[in-house]
Structure 1
Amino acid sequence: MIRNYFKIAWRNLKKKKLYAFINIIGLFAGISFALLIVAFIWQEIQVNTNLKHAKSQYILTSKWKDPNMGVDFVTLGPLAENLKQQYPHLIANYYRWDGITSIISNGEKKFREGIQLGDESLLTMYGFNLMHGNNDNAFSAPFSVVITKEKAIKYFGTTDVVGETVTIQNFEGDHQDFKITGVLAETLENTITQITKQADNGFFIAKNSATYFNRANFQDWERSMFLSFIELQPGINARQLEAPLSRLIKNHTSEVVQDNLQIIPIKLTDYYLNRNNASLKQMLFTLSFVGLFIMLMAIINFINIAISHSSSRLKEIGIRKVLGGKRKQLMFQFLIESVVLVSISTLLACFSYPIFSGWFAEIIGKKLIGLSEFPAYFLIVPLGCIILISALVGFYPAFVLSSFKSIDAIKGKLKIGSEGVYLRKFLLGFQYVTALVVLIVALLVTQQLDRFLGKTLGYDKEFVVTAAVPRDWTSEGVHKMMTIRNELSKVPSVESVSLSYEIPNGNNGFQLNVYKAGENPDQSYATQGLVSDENYLSTYQIPLLAGTFLESGDTNPDAVVINETALYAYGFENANDAIGQQLYVVNESNALTIEGVVSDFHFESMQQSIKPQLFFNVNSTLYYRYFSFKLKPGNLNESLAQIQQKWKVLMPNSSFEYHFMDDTLATLYETEFQFKKAAYTASLLALIIALLGIFGLVSLSINKRVKEVGIRKVLGASLSRISFLFLKEFLVILGLSVIIACPLAYALMNNWLSNYAYRISIGLLPFVIGILSIASITVLLIIFQTLKAASTNPIKSLRTE
């Protein structure tokens, strides 16, 4: 009996190929998108859970009264070690690391790489495995290094490289051979070796080599710059650390730190999802809801199309009932057809996952795991999906179609109660609302991104290229780098070159508490310290409001430049009044003299307000990291080739690895770009599924009014008049949907934009574009179908009974 149900279901689907194709495509789109989202969410919530003793491991985060005083994910260097030493009954282990970059070479291969300089407990504490080498002694000897599998292949072409050496340059320009003592096996994503996408380190060095890099400040209680992780003893919870943490800070730090810093341990399994104001968790929730609504739209679409094509099954239903067929048998037949359709759609979604996962990975900026990497119990997900969706999409059509009276069914009369019509109109309205909301959201996100990357940055990013340089933080090193700068500026395609410690990528070098001369130090302001040469303004084309920009760096090492925000924070009335005035850094005795004031520019993301900034001359501070090149308009590839050629001559031991400021900003706004791509993808899917729903409802309406169309045509009604009869029905639904969708989209985007200190004003244009786009497509689709029905010979239409 079951076999017959499946045979009949398959024959009916083959007979109605277009109907089957539309339903399969709609469900396939919804299931595929939902599957990708499930895979992404599963992948994200697994981060850090596979680490050894992950449930008892924490990261020590810093909460400053003034957020400008420090970064939340780093803390005081000695803190974790002292917790372990003084409270061994609470702390089982600890690990700290400091991130640096340097030139690493092997023969002719020279690249700037990320280095993780930390405690020797890295491998044993987290259970990381080595492909080659010994976990117990990998970090025992100074000048030893553990590298990842990828770096081994990059430098040696193979993974079995234990005993080989790589040469690493320090900040003074010296070179030292480091012996490879281990090759790290591929690790799952975690926040120990991959705190951010940009800090995905490939070289791991123990702190017994820290002095070579001039980073022997693991014991500095006044500098918050280390990532610190701890592992609690069994049975201990984070609350029990409050008193020890407060005691350590009180005993070892200055009053400024004591009054402003609170250490908060966060469980590693929670930290990944909740960092950066829980932006990832919000994104996962958003994607979950989007996936759910897309899935609901696909289900609604199936129901509408199934009912709209019910007229072709009426005589079959009538004959079955006359021959003794029971209603539950008819319902089961229609449910089996749903099972077949859903099964095909689900299998297609699973088979196409490898293809779509690559495309989805571009949207989210991260490779998705393969289906084979899910736990075995995930096999029940497709089966459960088939059963649940089949029940949802099949029950209502089966209930409606099996309820027709035998005599009406045999006569081919399609009588659907007003309740059913209203339900399907409501469902279509739901599809309209979803499609409108996601399209309007996508347009507003685009506007905000355009503001991020447009003319409101405060500097000109066009034709600006940055490259990290070798570091020799001595007077001789700075003098040499300035000479190289001058030589590079002679390249014909280069307009200007600047040497600086920071570029506008959000990574500030240091924070200072600064106050105006004559004021109380308690009235100081947290200020970003920036280090550059005198060419920084001309390279980035930042307006100078008054004075000069670091031109007296050689003659007056205490000369500084401030930005507009600092100008008003320190209490000056205007830029000219500030020139020549003095400032003090808290706990510093020498006075700083203001020689210039520059216009505000966005150093960080527009999520943050522009902070007070203080520029120091690189000649007096001796710290630098980057060259910034302002290129002349023209052939960029040729310009870069000229710079690279000159670079090799001037710095043969350093590689020219450059980044356009456009790419740097894209990294800074990575989450926003992901949101934009996801919104447009959801818009496209929602629009396709909504149009399929319109197709189904128009078909139902036309089937019910075939005779009416024939009569109107006989009485002289024009094709446009007949089309309008159907159009007004759907335009009313669209109009009601607009009334609901627009306030909803406004509320959602107003909430999202509230995270940004600098944001667009929500105008009418995105709403108008969204409404007109969906209305135009709807009108074209309805006109196409109604004109086809209206062009049918009226005699044929009048013979419907």
Structure 2
Amino acid sequence: MLVHYLKVAVRQLLKYRTQNLISIVGLGVCLLCFSICFYVGRFILTTDRCFENRDRIADVQLENEFGEPYGSAHIPLAHRLAAQLPPGVEAVTYVNVSEKRDYTLTLPSGKELPYLALATLEVDSSFQRVFGAEVLAGSWETASRTPNAVILTERMAKRLFDHPSEAIGCRMLLTNAQQVARSGGAQASGNVAYSVQAVVKDLPVNNTLTGMRPMDLLVMNDELSYLYMFREADYILSGQLFALLRPGFSPAQLSDYFRQEDLKMLMGRDERPVTAVPFGQVFWQESPYLIFAGIALALGVLILLVGLLNFFSFTCGSYLNRLREYSLRRVSGSRGWQLLGLLFTQAGLTVLLAFLVTACLVELGSPYLHIQLESFSLEVDKGMLMAHCAQYLVAVLLLTLVICAGTVAYACRLPIQAGIRGTGRTRRSGKHGVRNTLLAVQFFACWLFVALSVSLYLQTNTVTSVMFNNLTETQKEEILSIPMHYSFMSMADKLALVERMKQHAGVEDCLLAEEAYTDNQWRTGLSLDKWESEKLRLDLYYRKVAPNFFHFMNLRIRQGRELRDTTDIVVDQKLAESLTSLTQKEPCGTVLYPWVEGPVTVCGVSDMLTTTAYASPWEREPIKGTFYRYADYSRNFGHCYLKCRPGQAEAVRSHVTAILEETFPPSIHAEVRTLLQDLEKECQMEVSLRGILLFFAIVCIVVTLLGVYAAITLDTERRRKEVAIRKVNGAGRRQIFSLFARMYGWLLVGTAVVAFPLIYLILQEWQTAYVAFFSYGPLFWLGIFLAVTLVTALTVVFRIAKVARVNPAEAIKAE
């Protein structure tokens, strides 16, 4: 019986080989896209599953004036609870994601290699008991007794050594100790020595402890940690404080205990109550990862829906065209379950072939399955993705079984005579209502994917053009951006390196900076009356710049002069207007008072320079403008910009890269980008989403158009005799085209009317996150509509043209 079913299934697949190939490839690609989207969604939704004690961990916080957690640990509270554990608490541990650190590692051979920007987690001795770190080499107890102990993660140990045990006892010198200490408001003199005491298994990336980021190493008993530096402070907020509760004791009970004891800690001038919330609650309230998960799941459902609708549209159509065959089988004694076996064998074989396509795509694309969105990074595991695909295959097979059962139930209710004569179908106006509805849903998904991918493309261009708007796109490509925050080098060596890079004939100018101008924009306040009146205080952005900054960035000085010393500031036009409205006089010569330093004088007014296109969510009042202060970077700098002469950017880039590779040790990668690439990196989320949605849009359009092609093919095959009679009666190609194409025109217009308002609402909400947003006027909507309509029309015309060329006599004879 099964062999017979397989023979019939293969014959049917070969009979409509083009349509079946469309269904198989479309379903396979859509299943892959769906699996990747759900991989991301499941990855985020299974966060913290790696911690066995996650349900017994409480996050201990202070409450603000609104009764909400501050979001960071109170350092004095951490010392107090560690000295005397509350009832129901087994252990307390402090964790903090530290500033990225630069270390110079001394290998057993005596060779020293620098490593930059290592992701570091500050922990204490109770960390292992609370979170269960698995030690692969060395000893956790030894590390807990050793000052400045380093515990390498497995990924970092493999990067540095052939075997994890080789790392134990190695010396690591923190070369950016001053920067790390300064980030906490403290000071450090010189480099700080550490020793490797253990190697632990990697923490999975999907954990709230590290903010969904991989860690390179853990430090314990660190003299530069917040827990050590501020152990005598009255109050300081940093990191996270966690309590491991006894079985049966909940965070709510711990919070009630704090309330009964009236436990409060100093926060500024006020005392704030202590509370406890479940582990991860604060993170989920403040992070966008649930939004990412929701978007990924929604995109996955949409793309799979397109593939399934295309598959079931053709499948149901082909099944219903075989009602005469089913009726004849019933006459010969076939039962309902036999018909079900016949149909499900064909459908199941198609689904299995689609899964084979998915598996091949996973195998081919696994090296490129890396997802990077803002701070979220994910390497897709091929084996796990294949397992997910197998799970979804079972679900698709069950859904296919339901569809086949429905078709058999319909065929069994149909009178045998009506089925044999072909008169048992629905009335003419509703013959393909279900199929057309499925196509409408596919077109709806197409509008969403196409519109959103085009929007992301336009917004990315808007962001990169608005930022550093005084430079053209060509000029941004001709400015090289070179990181120079190499803590293993002395300042004299850095300056000598810059001089060597400037010697190329293609270099026009050089600009030194403390850091990349795309990284941060600092906020501060200035007062016109020594901070006596709130009305004369200004909330501003500021930058420390070299004297040649304005010429380098094409910023015109509209009034006054450029910077000469540290008492001068240059203000932009927006701030100049604010000063004029407050003082009723020209801004040049106005004296302003910073909060700490001495007074400064406005010496000039420049054009406005936009360095960010994103709206700050925490700004309650608009920023009044930006001012620039003089900085001498001959003693300390962390970034270098080189302006190249026209057409010389690539030559200068090769020259600079060669110098850096010659100078740097093998552990340091030479990084030379253009300013435009820096700006694109700032909108990395948009660029990544743009690529993903563009791929989905192409898949969706192709699958939908192939579905349209398959639907027209079934229509033309079913109505060959009708077309032939119309041609005999004088119908031309226009009339035949109108006969088949009218319905697809209504589908396009109807789905656009539904989809476009939804897309408009999405763009309205999305726009609030930006300072500058692309224009989505009538041309935007018209362009999208015409593009999709054009490719659909070409598909329809191509298929109908083949039908119109058929000889009527041969068509009638074949019928």
TM-score interval for Structure 1 and Structure 2 normalised by the shorter chain:
0.7 to 0.9
The alpha carbon displacement at 1:433 in A equals 1.6
Cα displacement string for residues 38-64 of structure 1 (whole angstroms, at most 9, x for unaligned residues): 222111222333135333546689999
Q: Choose from 197, 219, 242 the match for 1:181.
A: 197
The alpha carbon displacement at 1:8 in A equals 3.5
The alpha carbon displacement at 1:188 in A equals 1.1
Secondary structure, aligned partner of 1:578:
coil
The alpha carbon displacement at 1:320 in A equals 1.2
The alpha carbon displacement at 1:469 in A equals 2.5
Whether 1:162 and 2:168 are equivalent positions in the alignment is: yes
Whether 1:499 and 2:512 are equivalent positions in the alignment is: yes
Q: Choose from 426, 429, 440 the match for 2:451.
A: 440
- Counterpart amino acid of residue 161 in structure 1: A
CA contact (8 A) 2:512 2:633 kept: no
The alpha carbon displacement at 1:687 in A equals 1.0
CA contact (8 A) 1:331 1:399 kept: no
Secondary structure, aligned partner of 1:465:
strand
- Counterpart amino acid of residue 25 in structure 1: V
Secondary structure, aligned partner of 2:783:
helix
CA contact (8 A) 2:512 2:641 kept: yes
The alpha carbon displacement at 1:204 in A equals 3.5
Per the alignment, residue 595 of structure 1 pairs with 603
Per the alignment, residue 34 of structure 2 pairs with 34
Aligned pair in 2 of structure 1 residues 480, 684: CA closer, same or farther (>3 Å)? Answer: closer
Per the alignment, residue 139 of structure 2 pairs with 134
Matched residues in 1 for 2:741 and 2:557: separation? 60
Q: Choose from 625, 636, 649 the match for 2:638.
A: 625
Per the alignment, residue 467 of structure 1 pairs with 483
Cα displacement string for residues 515-548 of structure 1 (whole angstroms, at most 9, x for unaligned residues): 3325536554554454343233444444445444
Whether 1:386 and 2:389 are equivalent positions in the alignment is: no
Per the alignment, residue 531 of structure 1 pairs with 544
Whether 1:147 and 2:157 are equivalent positions in the alignment is: no
The alpha carbon displacement at 1:711 in A equals 1.6
- Counterpart amino acid of residue 291 in structure 1: G
Root-mean-square deviation (CA, aligned residues, Å) is: 4.5
List alignment gaps of at least 5 residues for structure 1: 67-71
Matched residues in 1 for 2:457 and 2:354: separation? 33
- Counterpart amino acid of residue 795 in structure 1: A
Aligned pair in 2 of structure 1 residues 208, 777: CA closer, same or farther (>3 Å)? Answer: closer
CA contact (8 A) 2:514 2:633 kept: no
Matched residues in 1 for 2:253 and 2:579: separation? 40
Per the alignment, residue 43 of structure 1 pairs with 43
CA contact (8 A) 1:465 1:630 kept: no
CA contact (8 A) 1:103 1:654 kept: no
Per the alignment, residue 424 of structure 1 pairs with 435
CA contact (8 A) 1:100 1:114 kept: yes
Cα displacement string for residues 184-236 of structure 1 (whole angstroms, at most 9, x for unaligned residues): 33331145775465xx552443453429x999456666776x43342354435
Matched residues in 2 for 1:81 and 1:622: separation? 40
CA contact (8 A) 1:468 1:657 kept: no
Aligned pair in 2 of structure 1 residues 104, 115: CA closer, same or farther (>3 Å)? Answer: farther
Matched residues in 1 for 2:324 and 2:294: separation? 47
Aligned pair in 2 of structure 1 residues 534, 515: CA closer, same or farther (>3 Å)? Answer: same
CA contact (8 A) 1:115 1:205 kept: no
Matched residues in 2 for 1:495 and 1:125: separation? 57
The alpha carbon displacement at 1:390 in A equals 0.8
CA contact (8 A) 1:502 1:531 kept: no
Cα displacement string for residues 558-607 of structure 1 (whole angstroms, at most 9, x for unaligned residues): x4444455556667569983333333344x37434333444444444514
- Counterpart amino acid of residue 304 in structure 1: S
Per the alignment, residue 69 of structure 1 pairs with none
Matched residues in 1 for 2:55 and 2:606: separation? 49
CA contact (8 A) 2:208 2:280 kept: no
Matched residues in 2 for 1:654 and 1:219: separation? 39
The alpha carbon displacement at 1:99 in A equals 0.8
Per the alignment, residue 782 of structure 1 pairs with 796
Matched residues in 2 for 1:333 and 1:711: separation? 35
Matches within 5 A, 1:205-354: 205-206=219-220, 208-210=222-224, 216=229, 226-231=238-243, 233-234=245-246, 235-237=249-251, 252-255=266-269, 268-270=279-281, 274-276=285-287, 278=288, 280-310=289-319, 313-327=322-336, 329-350=338-359, 352-354=361-363
CA contact (8 A) 1:24 1:344 kept: yes
The alpha carbon displacement at 1:289 in A equals 1.9
CA contact (8 A) 1:544 1:599 kept: yes
Per the alignment, residue 116 of structure 2 pairs with 112
Q: Choose from 693, 697, 710 the match for 1:679.
A: 693
Matches within 5 A, 1:762-773: 762-773=776-787
Matched residues in 2 for 1:522 and 1:627: separation? 39
Whether 1:577 and 2:582 are equivalent positions in the alignment is: no
Aligned pair in 2 of structure 1 residues 27, 575: CA closer, same or farther (>3 Å)? Answer: farther
Matched residues in 2 for 1:262 and 1:660: separation? 50
Aligned pair in 2 of structure 1 residues 562, 176: CA closer, same or farther (>3 Å)? Answer: same
Aligned pair in 2 of structure 1 residues 443, 703: CA closer, same or farther (>3 Å)? Answer: same
Matched residues in 2 for 1:769 and 1:196: separation? 39
Aligned pair in 2 of structure 1 residues 192, 628: CA closer, same or farther (>3 Å)? Answer: farther
Aligned pair in 2 of structure 1 residues 546, 268: CA closer, same or farther (>3 Å)? Answer: farther
Instruction: Single out whichever of 117-126 and 670-679 deviates more from structure 2.
Output: 117-126
CA contact (8 A) 2:258 2:274 kept: no
The alpha carbon displacement at 1:732 in A equals 2.0
Secondary structure, aligned partner of 1:696:
helix
- Counterpart amino acid of residue 501 in structure 1: E
- Counterpart amino acid of residue 766 in structure 1: F
Matched residues in 1 for 2:520 and 2:277: separation? 23
The alpha carbon displacement at 1:465 in A equals 0.4
Aligned pair in 2 of structure 1 residues 526, 782: CA closer, same or farther (>3 Å)? Answer: same
Aligned pair in 2 of structure 1 residues 217, 240: CA closer, same or farther (>3 Å)? Answer: same
TM-score with structure 2 setting the length: 0.82
TM-score with structure 1 setting the length: 0.83
Matched residues in 1 for 2:385 and 2:439: separation? 36
Matched residues in 1 for 2:727 and 2:555: separation? 71
- Counterpart amino acid of residue 532 in structure 2: N
- Counterpart amino acid of residue 231 in structure 1: A
Secondary structure, aligned partner of 2:102:
strand
Cα displacement string for residues 701-730 of structure 1 (whole angstroms, at most 9, x for unaligned residues): 323432221122112322343223212222
CA contact (8 A) 2:38 2:296 kept: no
Aligned pair in 2 of structure 1 residues 223, 581: CA closer, same or farther (>3 Å)? Answer: farther
Number of residue pairs matched by the alignment: 778
Matches within 5 A, 1:735-774: 735-774=749-788
The alpha carbon displacement at 1:385 in A equals 1.0
Matched residues in 2 for 1:625 and 1:242: separation? 49
Aligned pair in 2 of structure 1 residues 297, 375: CA closer, same or farther (>3 Å)? Answer: closer
CA contact (8 A) 1:52 1:125 kept: no
The alpha carbon displacement at 1:367 in A equals 4.0
Secondary structure, aligned partner of 1:577:
coil
Matched residues in 1 for 2:218 and 2:776: separation? 48
- Counterpart amino acid of residue 771 in structure 1: F
Matches within 5 A, 1:195-206: 195=211, 200-206=214-220
Instruction: Single out whichever of 327-336 and 25-34 deviates more from structure 2.
Output: 327-336
